[in-house]
Structures are given as structure tokens and as C-alpha cells.
Structure 1
Amino acid sequence: MRQDSAMELAVEQQAVPQRDVRTLPKAHLHLHFTGSMRPTTLLELAEKHRVRLPEALSKGTPPKLRATDERGWFRFQRLYDTARSVLRDEQDIRRLVRETAEDEVADGSRWLEIQVDPTSYAPRLGGLIPALELILDAVAEAAGSTGVGIRVLVAANRMKSPMDARTLARLAVRYQDAGVVGFGLSNDERRGLARDFDRAFAIARRADLLAAPHGGELAGPESVRDCLDDLGAGRIGHGVRAAEDPRLMQRLADRQVTCEVCPASNVALGVYEQAPAVPLRRLFEAGVPIALGADDPLLFGSRLAAQYELARTVHGFSDAELAELARQSVRGSRAPEWVRKELLGEIDTWLTKPGAAVGS
């Protein structure tokens, strides 16, 4: 954006009261299970189970992270694993899901698709099947009490065996009628090849589960192409670096493959040095569907509404454009058709209301 245009936009935004992004109805499609935990809950559960937290997690503020090299990613993963270790019993799981749903309500999220690798919790919760059944039951309970629609994406770990991924894909299919809507692949996309997991994704796709692997964050646009070509991705976790390849952006736009862009975590992990460098505007103007996501609020310090605020204040998105981002998140979801229609109508209503000072 040219400097004079940016100044004009700033003047315009000061002159016209802006609508509160927290009241904008939206869907949240990129949120990890442990990473959705409140910092205060982490501290309380660590005390409950006598888990000693490293200083980076014990202060109640987001740790300083950078994962663009192997050492940085290892540190990030170690902190994440430590946070996960405080989730040890049924009450912990139900508390995390309930509080996450409450936080979604506060941010205007009306539909959440939360990602979880149940193998991470299985040893403490009685096994793989009991762990997933508990999570799904907690999700149904929290959805009922808060009014947020919640579904689950079962995610395999790229650092583990493709055979483990196939086991998880079959498990995801088995619980499709209990709240599982998709199958993902997380962890460092620079490690291993997407095609090593093609059989797992084929199992999921045959059952009409959404294929939503991570790609195009720590690795470049080639990782997005691999997700499309080798895994049949219908949605891309992150995908932000597709902006480096115009032909790939066109492909995503033509196929309407949604990218789950997480601006705050992109900066926190060092993918981009500063918030303005995240190519959110470039993807948007290329017609790539975008669903803004918070990724891991516990470690990155901001939840869903803050991503919309970043789009407004850093990338110059108008209220009409923010509403379109919200629509794209809804269209990219696996929400039932009636839920989509309802949310799209509420987004239109949000735009018809006069702007008010944020927080008023």
C-alpha cells in the first residue's frame, strides 16, 4: 500500500466509527486443542498436578518464540508438550473445552472446528478410543451450554509414522457421526514428505471427511502444492506462503480451497518479521478464500477477534472486507447448510448496523 493511500485510509477510519469485530459472526477453523488453553488454566492445572513449568510458561504471558530453524521449532514443540502434560484427567479435558467455547463466544465465533491428535492424550486417559470419546463428549457438552457449534478434526503428526496416521484416519472415520468432520496433518511441514501420508488421507476422503493438512507456513509454496496434489486437500492449514507463487494462488482461488491464515502466529514464529509483511491482502485480492485463525493462543497471546483487528489496523481491511473474511470462514467450514445460511445472514446484519466505537 502506498504511503499516501495508507494515510488516507487512516483518516477515513478515524472519521467513520468502526464496528466491533467481537460482534462479527464468524467461524474459527484453525485452533489446536492444547493451544486453546487459557494461561491461567495452565498455571492452575500445573499446580493441581504438580507439574513444574519452565519459566517461559510460568509467567502467564506469551513466551518469545522463533521456529524458522530446527532449534527454534524444537523449543516451541517442547513448550507445547509441557503445556499438554497438565491435561491429565477427565475434569481437565472438560474444563479446557468449556473455557475454549466460552472464549469463542466472547470473540464472536459461532462455529469452531478444533484440531486434536488423540494419541497425545491417550496414555493418561485410558487409551486412544477413550481419549477421543471423552474429547467428543466434552465438545458436545460445551456446544450445548454455550451455543457455539463445535466439531473436531483428528490430526496426525508429521513427525510420526504414516502407519500411525492411517490408524488415526480410521479412527476419525469411525467417529464421523459423533462430531469428527475432518482429518489433518500437523507439526513441522519441513520434515517428511506429504505423499508419505497419502494412504491415510485417502481413507479419510473416501468417507467424505475434509482433508485439511498443514502446509505453506514454515515451508514454502511447494508444500501447499504437495498438500493439494498428494493429499487431496480441501483446505490448507496456514497456506500463507502460497502468496509467493501467483499460479498457485490462482489455483487455490479457482478451486476455492480455503487457507487458514493465522497472522499473529506467523509473526510469533518468525515466518514474517513484522505484522505488515504477512501477505493477507495479497491472498485476499487474488481471490484465495481465507479463514483467519488463532492457531495456539496459549503460546501466541491472541485469540480470534485479535486476528480480525490485525486485518483492520495493520492490513487496512474495511468493515465490508472484514465481513467478507467472516463469510469466507463460514463457507470454508463443515457447518451444516442451515448453520451457514444463518451465519451469512447475521454477517450481513452486522454490516447494516452503524459503526460504534470499539468496546462501547
Structure 2
Amino acid sequence: MGDTSARSHRAPVPRPDGAGRDLTSLPKAHLHLHLAGAMRPATLRELAARYGVPAPAHDGRGVKGWAEFQQLYDTARAVIRTPDDIGRVVAEAAADDAADGCGWLELQVDPTSYAETMGGVRAALEAVLAAAASAPIPVGVMVASSWARPPDHAERLARLTAAYADAGVVAFGLSNDERHGEVAAFVPAFRLVAEAGLLASPHSGFYTAAPHVRDCVHLLDAARIGHGTSAVGDPQTLALLAERRVTLEVCPTSYPPFGVHALDEVPVQRLLAADVPVALGSDDPLLFGVGLAGQYAICRDLLGLSDDQLATLAGHSIEGSAAPPEVKRDLRTRLDDWRRPERFQGTAP
């Protein structure tokens, strides 16, 4: 599977004055990471060379718009062709997250993207589940359809998701541009996964306004929302998210390339002030160039969050996860230890 021990490009953004606690030691869960977008740049280059796929020039520092994003993401998907390829990507992603202090990872995948080369949708999903089971940290799998695919495609994937509910699949989602689908059309798919006891987390509120986020909560019974930052402008939506404890998976580096938010204007502080749970994610570090601990560093260094607020975000990621109870207990205990002031005597504030 290649070397999974070396740190990748995914490093925390450094604080200019060098102050602040070590964010890689902050116990946390990672709830928003796509399989292809989790690939290391070096792995992309190696697999592209192996399969004769032209690899776009990419320095790992972030894409500059939709065209570059789509080209790079499509290339990453195209070079994942065997169970060993999946195993390598999953192992490296989990190792990178472990180095960033992550104790539970939920990896998002549409198995139909790999069905042709893997021998079918079930074979593709089983390859991901096998890789997750052998990863260096606990990994759950979120099966995701796409807002751009027909609702019956989502229903087929929902049935597959339910069939593997006791085999490592923990959640069901909808990825891609949420403007391509109507929320109500996906109700049957999400009803199937709810009946299987699985968590629902559709993308929403990236390009769409706050009412779309509300619809995902009301109609799809979403326990989490991928992104959801448009909710910040609507008190009704904020109140709903706070009351139902719906966690927003906020990925700071995902927004500037598409003009959604400037990096120093991502509304994490405003969401916390409204008592909305926020879990930071890296989304696609291959494309955006920053890993999980780096997202926390951005919140500290650019958005002005305190160490206590960063610990609150980590707590939200743990509570909003689909991790088994014993994993949550361990992460909570470690987080309580991280919060203790005496543990940081001599550390700059």
C-alpha cells in the first residue's frame, strides 16, 4: 500500500507568533472527508503514472476555482482502480488524521464511482469497508449519493447502505452542488436509512440559502449538515439547528475558491454564539491543501477562537459523530484532559 507513516502535505497553518497550544494534541473527530479528495498529492502522482493517466499540475496548496477543482477531483477518482488502491488511500488518510489528533474518522464515498473497475457497487463498498477496518484509527464509512443524480439512484444506494449497517457503514449523505436537486425528492432514500438506524448528513447551505438547510432537517431528518454556513443569516434556521442539535460540518478552506466566504470571514464564531454545534472538516485536502488540525489553526489564528472554543468545536465533532460509545468515551476523556489548565503551564496563551 505504500508508506503510510510519513506525514503528508496536510500540516497545521502556523501561527505567526508561535503561540497557542498544540492543536495536533487536541482530541477530535473528523466528520467531513471525501475518499478521492483525501488522497495525498504524491499518491496521486504515483497512481497516475502507474495507470497512464495525465496528472494535472498541482502543488497541494489549494485549487483556484471550479474548473481546477473538478479536473483534479476527477483525476483522483480515475486512479483509484483496485482494492489495494482504496486501501492505500484510506490508510494514508487515516494516518494523516491520526497525526492531527483525530480519534474517529468518517470517510464519505459513492461506491458507484468505482464500481466499473472493482466489479460492482457492492465490491467497491466492501473494499472501502475492508480498508476502514484495518486503518490506524477507527473509521466509519458514509455512503453518499449526489444531488446531481436522480432520486432513484439515491434510493438504490440507500438500500445498499442499510444492508451494510452492521458492517462499518454509519451514515448516508448527498454530496455535490445542492442546487441540482429538490430536497423533497430524496425523502424516500433518507427514510430507508433512518429505518436502518443510520445517521443522515446531506450537503446543504453551501450554495443554497437557509431555507434549503431547514428543509434538509425537516424533510430528511438530517442529524448533520455538510457545510450549512448560509444558516448564519437566518435566525429561524439557527434556532432550529440549535434546538435539534444538528451539527454543521464546516470546512473553512473549501469556501474561498468558490467565493462563498473569505477565509477570515467563515462564520464559526457566529454559529457558536447561536449555540449551533460545529464540527470542523477538511473536505478534500488534496484540493484545498489543509488538513484537519490546519482547519483548527485557521479558526484560532484568523477567526480569533480561543483554546476553549477550539475544544468546544472538538467536543461538537465527537458528539455529532456516529462513533461507537466506547470511542466517544475515550475521546471525551482525552478532551477533558486537554482542557485542564495545569496541563499547559508555561504555554503561551
Structure 2 residue runs of 5 or longer lacking an equivalent are 1-15
Aligned to 2:63: 64
Aligned to 1:23: 25
Aligned to 2:277: 289
- Helix, strand or coil: the match of 2:225? strand
Q: Please give the per-residue CA displacement for 1:211-268, whole angstroms capped at 9, x wherever unaligned.
A: 1100001212122012112211111111111101112111100110000001111123
Matched residue type, 1:45: L
Q: Please give the per-residue CA displacement for 1:68-116, whole angstroms capped at 9, x wherever unaligned.
A: xxxx3x6533431122101111221111011011101110000001110
Question: Do the aligned partners of residues 338 and 59 (structure 1) sit closer, same or farther apart at CA in structure 2, a change above 3 Å counting?
Answer: closer
| Match among 306, 310, 320 for residue 332 of structure 1 | 320
- Helix, strand or coil: the match of 1:339? helix
- Helix, strand or coil: the match of 1:291? strand
1:348 correspondence with 2:336 = yes
1:116 correspondence with 2:97 = no
Alignment of 1:200-349 (within 5 A): 200-272=189-261, 274-349=262-337
1:99 correspondence with 2:89 = no
TM-score, normalising length: structure 2: 0.91
> 1:170: how far off?
0.4
- Helix, strand or coil: the match of 1:51? coil
Equivalent pair of 2:81/2:117 in contact (CA under 8 Å):
yes
Q: Please give the per-residue CA displacement for 1:276-310, whole angstroms capped at 9, x wherever unaligned.
A: 21111000111000100000000001010001001
> 1:62: how far off?
3.6
Equivalent pair of 2:253/2:290 in contact (CA under 8 Å):
yes
Aligned to 2:142: 153
Q: Which has the higher helix share?
A: 1
Distance 1:348 1:296 in 2: 29
Distance 1:244 1:288 in 2: 13
Aligned to 1:141: 134
Distance 2:205 2:31 in 1: 16
Alignment of 1:4-43 (within 5 A): 17-43=19-45
Aligned to 2:7: none
- Helix, strand or coil: the match of 2:180? coil
Equivalent pair of 1:239/1:259 in contact (CA under 8 Å):
yes
Matched residue type, 2:259: G
Distance 2:61 2:263 in 1: 17
Question: Is 315-324 or 107-116 further displaced after alignment?
Answer: 315-324
Distance 2:300 2:245 in 1: 23
- Helix, strand or coil: the match of 2:304? coil
> 1:158: how far off?
1.2
> 1:319: how far off?
0.9
Equivalent pair of 2:132/2:138 in contact (CA under 8 Å):
no
Identity %: 48
Distance 1:177 1:25 in 2: 26
Aligned to 1:168: 157
> 1:53: how far off?
2.0
Distance 1:157 1:318 in 2: 36
Distance 2:313 2:227 in 1: 15
Alpha-carbon RMSD across the aligned residues, in angstroms, is: 1.7
Distance 2:102 2:121 in 1: 29
Equivalent pair of 1:17/1:355 in contact (CA under 8 Å):
no
- Helix, strand or coil: the match of 1:217? coil
Question: Do the aligned partners of residues 124 and 62 (structure 1) sit closer, same or farther apart at CA in structure 2, a change above 3 Å counting?
Answer: farther
Equivalent pair of 2:147/2:179 in contact (CA under 8 Å):
no
- Helix, strand or coil: the match of 2:321? coil
Distance 2:41 2:307 in 1: 31
Distance 2:346 2:60 in 1: 30
Distance 1:244 1:343 in 2: 32
TM-score, normalising length: structure 1: 0.88
Q: Which runs of 4+ in 1 moved over 6 A?
A: none
Aligned to 1:81: 74
